[in-house]
Structure 1
Amino acid sequence: MKYITAVILMVLILSSCKDATNGLTKSLALEMIKACEADRPVQVEKLMYVGNMTFHNGGTSLTELNYLKKLAKKGVIKLDSISSTKQEMSSSTRINTVYNIDISDANKKYIIRQKDNTVYVNLVYSEVQDVESITFKNEARADVVANFKKVETPFYDRDFVRVSNLKDKPELFSKTVSFHKQNKSGWMSCHLKGN
């Protein structure tokens, strides 16, 4: 009888020592979120044109030109006026100016993709800082609360950027990241909630 009691006691002790994290630790979650960011970054991008482009002295064309002039003043891009022509309209005169636009070498790293004279530049992106907590929903699901930093690139300008969830976040913010466990692969992620 003492033997059976000892075996039962040993089984209870060993089962109580089972890994409460089910293999998912804060450091593993942080590594996985960083891998997700590298694979599928959370960012705000903007379409821009490089090369020779014609701008008018009104409407959205003027708004875009003012944005580009601000970037040129900061040295983010090079903006050179090539030629200007007047076009008589029925009620006004429109001035068409051709500019040569080029992104400075130091800021080309913010180009996400480019085709011919169309480029998409990164305006704002998030970067994970640390993992705050892990809440296990069951043995195969967990919610990880991670702290992120909003990083604004030189192309970001509050006056000219469209509304987005990332733009409106404070510099430091928390976000819940879902994790699920697969038998063969272990813990998986890349389900960023609330982007």
Structure 2
Amino acid sequence: RAKDKLNGNIVALKKVRMDVEKDGLPLSGLREIQVLMACRHENIVQLKEVLVGRSLESIFLSMEYCEQDLASLLDNMSSPFTESQVKCLMLQVLKGLKYLHSNFIVHRDLKVSNLLLTDKGSDFGLARWLGAPARSATPRVVTLWYRAPELLLQSPKQTPALDMWAAGCILGELLANKPLLPGRTEIEQLELIVDLLGKFLR
């Protein structure tokens, strides 16, 4: 949290991991900046500017400030969301995803702690542009509880289906007021998915 000295507005500052590599700055940090600069949607947190400190290791994203994320709210709620509240929240999540996917962007790390109380999807550190066809990438991207089966099975192909699976897990969590698939290991996560949905079809 910081205050913009020019206009007095409160903003959120996020330090971008920019560990300098021998070939320059890492693609992950540059990709996050690129994706956020390209996104302009009411349900996606807005990047205001990129700030550079005294060195390239000190790069910060100045974004609109939000008081709380959905995960911390869930931890402190005395009663669960009503179905109408869940519907309202999920509608906004899906609108944000529709915008991303229409622009060939996969978030890849959708979870309740990345949903802010202004109903905006945050944290694009793992987001990436889609190729046509989808490019290969590391399967270890989504937090375990929201990780799609294809990632658990080490598929290198990453499509919007990853985000839709995570959105379904979030929907289940909001309705049940607890994580839908709280696996502790990748094997246990697969077992929970099979228990819930049945065996995978080839």
What's the TM-score, normalizing by structure 1?
0.28
Look at both structures and tell me which one has the larger radius of gyration over its CA atoms. Answer: 1
Q: Which has the higher strand share?
A: 1
Higher helix share: 2
